[in-house]
Amino acid sequence: MSLAEERQLLAGWGRAGKSAARLVSPSCTQEAEKVLAALGNEGGRPAIARGLGRSYGDAAQCGGGTVIDCRGLTAPFEISPSGLCRAGGGLSIDSLLERAVPAGWFVPVTPGTRQVTVGGAIASDVHGKNHHVDGAFAAHLRRLELVAPTGRILCGPEDPAFAASCGGMGLTGVITEATFQLIPIESSRIKVETERAGDLDACMALLAERAEEHRYSVAWVDGLAGGRKLGRSVVTRGDHARPAELPAGAAKDPLAYRPRQRFRAPLAPPLSPLSPATIALMNEVWYRKAPRTSKTSFESIASFFHPLDAVGDWNLLYGTRGFIQYQYVVPFGAEEVVRDSLERLGRAGHPPYLVVLKTFGPPGQGHLSFPREGWTLALDLPLGRAGLAEVLDGLDELVAEAGGRVYLTKDSRLRPELLEQMYPRLPAWREEARRLDPDGIMSSDLDRRLGLRRSPEKKALGK
Amino acid sequence: MNDATGMPQRVLVVGGSSDIARQILLLLARRRLVHVVLCGRDLAAMEEVAGELRRVGVSRAECLSLDLTEPGGLGELAEEATERLGEVDLALFSAGELGSAELEELDAARVSQMVASNFSGQAAIALELAKGLLRQGSGRLVFISSVAGVRVRRANFVYGAAKAGLDSFAIGLSEALRGTGVGVMIVRPGFVRTKMTAGLPAAPFSVGPQEVAAAVLAGLEEGREVVWVPAPLRLVFGLLRLLPQALWRRLPG
Ligand SMILES: Cc1cc2nc3c(=O)[nH]c(=O)nc-3n(C[C@H](O)[C@H](O)[C@H](O)COP(=O)(O)OP(=O)(O)OC[C@H]3O[C@@H](n4cnc5c(N)ncnc54)[C@H](O)[C@@H]3O)c2cc1C
């Protein structure tokens, strides 16, 4: 098989740091194997898998090399009577839910968008609002099929290739198929308790208290509120509703599932309509709308788990320069890092437009998996005004010192010299990645920027 | 790689002993810079900058001898520097030679030489590097132009004309590279107090090399295509460009 030479400019969801690569689109495992074999014969031009491109940074691009578009790897797709799901690596969670929900099944973990592939979910070992009780995606994975440069392998949780591939950012090969356990649901509605918190302490108290009582929990924080209101937020906690609990209308067809995309951002507007002023206004309205004390409501899967999917291509609203999502986790006890982050960004004139805080439970098996016990904070930050680079470099240091880490699938700018401190299992991962890909064919812009595969050139910490 | 905030790890400099380049590199060293190749004539001065960069944590800083007036070696130099860096995230063109504007001091050889060092030599290297960056699928070329090229003055017209050439070349190159992942940024400082301008009376809006460097970093982070230093010069020259020559001639400074 020879590979054509068509170049395409690719970017992550944040739309910054674009690079051009050759795109190849295998439509089955055998074709993926042929692509990797052809790459090997070409002599070391790097390649990386790409799913739906929902990683925010440069994880699914490979400037000057080859990007393997996995969206065609949708087969097989089967759900066994016990809820074991066998899915192609390119199948989207969106298509999966369309079939699974009406049959009474739900994915064990869903990120904040359903527009991700199974392969992408595994390669980033994604987490959902239920991490504190259910762990990340790989915890529910029984088996995966990996096409590595050294060949196709099937592996399970006890295999070294499994721990290297879950959270491995595509750098061990192409995940062509996976088998994982779905969870049973009796309705497609979520019983949600919504409550507002006046400041960060109140918010953290709400998230931490009786955390195990709800399967899902998350706080949306007003990133533009400072001073006494710093960290004011709306906390939602939810569980899959039982049909008996549902209001009359919904109870008639409890497993009905009709997610909809309501709008679509037309084109990247030359000037972003988003600004601190418009965001502050939106946040104010949304905060005031939330009940002061806990109130129960029923929401659809789409509106509870994937609210942003209601607006297609919403990332274009950030304008031509795009944006960064900075997400980290710090251990419990390091609450001050969260407060400091919000304060520093506000003071520097770079307030985050979207802020999400939640708690994580214990880490999983993936060597490079992001979650560990503690607080995880995600911040959407527009690019285009100088000074952000310096503030974030400072936050990297706070996070590393606290024993935390930055999420690679969101990253587009981490200080490479902190990588080993943040990911202490990096040496074990490197060894296994080398075994699966001794010639270093798998690589991405993320890999090159951070030196994931190779020990990077040592650089002393700058002042 | 360049990161999303525009900060490069591997940098090639043409005009490696320039004061402006030195300040830019010192600022980049505080962010992501790991490897730099300085190219220029004055090896001793470049070695000093390289040493300084290593002391602030840049793991590799090397120097290559370059004579911009020798068109024969330019392609090879681009190749050699690229090979050493492995990948070029940012190529900085900061060579500059003010020279003379007195007719009796100028001759054919001098004029050719000034055009080569300020414009054609750098353009030749830039073109070769641009092709490399295209293969790489990403990267950035940064040209230190000058307001002297925006409207040429009697007092430095050969220099100004060469800078005008470089500036126009950079604009054209930027258009040719649109949509490829390779970017171009043009920096137009006013009078900069450097060793090149030592002894000259400072013009209005004069700045130091640190200020130019800070503006370049901000421009990289903001993804700009043109940076004026200081920023008000953009407006000032927008107007000055329209002045009739008879008035322009009489302006002081
Ligand atoms: C609105 C929004 C909300 C989000 N919320 C969350 C969240 O709550 N929790 C969370 O964890 N993440 C979240 N994410 C991030 C997202 O879940 C991950 O980045 C996910 O990996 C994206 O999947 P994808 O198919 O788009 O993969 P891509 O973005 O295309 O690729 C991501 C990584 O996976 C690798 N990869 C993709 N497909 C394969 C394959 N078949 N084989 C091997 N490697 C592969 C790529 O090489 C790359 O390293 C969110 C993203 C968005 C845009």
Report pLDDT digits (tens) over A34-52: 999 999 888 768 999 999 9
Name the one residue in this structure whose structure tokens are 């014969």.
A41
On whether the CB atoms of residues A177 and A77 are closer than 8 A, the answer is no
User: In the Cβ-directed half-sphere of A408, how many Cα atoms lie within 13 Å?
Assistant: 34
d(CA B246, ligand 1 centre) in Å: 63
**Per-residue exposure over B93-128, b if at least 16 CB sit within 10 Å of its own CB, e if not:** bbbbbbbebeeeeeeeeeeebbbbbbbbbbbbbbbb
CA nearest B182 in A: which residue?
A19
Task: List ligand 1's pocket residues with C-beta within 6 A.
Answer: A 13, 48-55, 59-60, 70, 89, 111-113, 116-117, 119-121, 123-124, 126-128, 169-170, 174-175, 308, 409, 444
Long-range contacts of A100-105 (CB under 8 A, 24+ apart): A100/A182, A101/A185, A101/A188, A101/A255, A101/A257, A101/A301, A102/A188, A102/A255, A102/A256, A102/A257, A103/A79, A103/A255, A104/A184, A104/A185, A104/A186, A104/A255, A105/A79, A105/A182, A105/A183, A105/A184, A105/A185
* Closest ligand 1 atom to Cα of A123: 34
Confidence of residue A456 (pLDDT cuts 50, 70, 90): very low
pLDDT confidence band for A375 (50 / 70 / 90)? very high
| Residue A453, min C-alpha distance to chain B (Å) | 15
CB A48 within 8 A of CB A124: no
pLDDT tens, position by position, B10-50: 999 999 999 999 999 999 999 999 999 999 999 999 999 99
**Cβ-count burial of B210 within 10 angstroms (0-12 exposed, 13-18 middle, 19+ buried)?**
middle
Among A249-253, A369-373, B241-245, the least confident range: A249-253
Residue A5 has pLDDT above 70, yes or no: no
Q: Whose CA is nearest to atom 17 of ligand 1?
A: A111
Q: Has this prediction a pTM greater than 0.90?
A: yes
Report the pLDDT value the prediction gives residue A455, as an integer from 0 to 100: 55
Kindly state whether B70 is in contact with chain A, defined as any CB-CB distance less than 8 angstroms: no
- Is B223 in CB contact (< 8 Å) with chain A? yes
Q: CA B144 to CA B104: how far, in whole Å?
A: 29
Angle, CA of A269, A115 and A410, to the nearest 5°: 70
- Look up residue B203 and give its two tokens: 């013009």
B210 near A CB under 8 A? no
pLDDT at position A462, please?
38
Q: Which of B32, B57, B181 sits opposite A63 (nearest CB)?
A: B181
- Contact criterion met (CB < 8 Å) for A19 and B57: no
Instruction: Dig out the tokens for B126 from the structure.
Output: 């830039």
Q: Do B4 and A459 touch (CB under 8 A)?
A: no
| Residue A457 pLDDT > 50 | no
Task: Tell whether B55 is within 8 A of chain A (Cβ).
Answer: no
Mean pLDDT calculated for residue range A177-190: 98
CATH of domain A189-421: 3.30.70.2520
> For chain A, what is the mean pLDDT?
94
Minimal-distance CA residue to ligand 1 atom 41: A119
A contacts of B2 (beta carbons < 8 Å): 17
What confidence score (pLDDT) does residue A204 get? Answer: 97
Of B1, B57, B217, the CB nearest to A445: B1
**B65: amino acid identity, one letter:** S
Give residue A80's Cα distance to chain centre: 27
Angstrom distances, CA of residue A149 to CA of A43, A105, A159: 12, 35, 17
Report pLDDT for A266.
64
Least confident window among A199-203, A288-292, B107-111: A288-292
Enumerate domains of chain B plus CATH numbers: 10-242 (3.40.50.720)
Q: Which residues on chain A are in Cβ contact (under 8 Å) with B56?
A: 460, 462
> Residue B63 above 50 pLDDT?
yes
The predicted-structure confidence for A213-270, as pLDDT tens digits, reads as follows 999 999 999 999 999 999 999 999 999 999 999 988 888 899 999 987 667 776 667 7
Catalytically active residues of B, by annotation: 159
Select the more confidently predicted residue: A320 or A85.
Answer: A85
pLDDT at position B147 over 80: yes
* Token couple for B78: 């681009």
Structure tokens at A279: 């965001």
Q: Say what the pLDDT of residue B200 is.
A: 87
pLDDT at A458: 41
Write b or e for each residue in B135-162: b if 16 or more Cβ atoms lie within 10 A of its Cβ, otherwise e.
ebbbbbbbbbbbbbbbbbbeebebbbbb
Flag the least confident range among A433-442, A451-460, B147-156, B233-242.
Answer: A451-460
The residues, ordered by sequence, that sit 6+ positions from A126 with a Cβ below 8 Å of its Cβ are A109, A110, A111, A116, A120, A136, A137, A409
Q: How do residues B176-218 score in pLDDT, each as one tens digit?
A: 999 999 999 999 999 999 988 888 888 888 999 999 999 999 9
> Closest chain A residue to B131 measured between Cα atoms?
A64
d(CA A96, CA A93): 5
Tokens representing A184 are 């049973």
The domain locations on chain A are 189-421
Give the three-state DSSP class for A244. helix
ipTM of this complex prediction, to 2 decimal places: 0.94
For range A368-378, the mean pLDDT: 98
Residue the block writes with tokens 């507002």: A196
Does residue A154 register a pLDDT over 90? Answer: yes
- Is A17 at the interface with chain B, CB within 8 A? yes
pLDDT digits (tens, 9 = 90+) for A266-319: 666 777 888 999 999 999 999 999 999 999 999 999 999 999 998 888 999 998
In this prediction, residue A2 carries a pLDDT of 60
Q: Whose CA is nearest to atom 6 of ligand 1?
A: A111
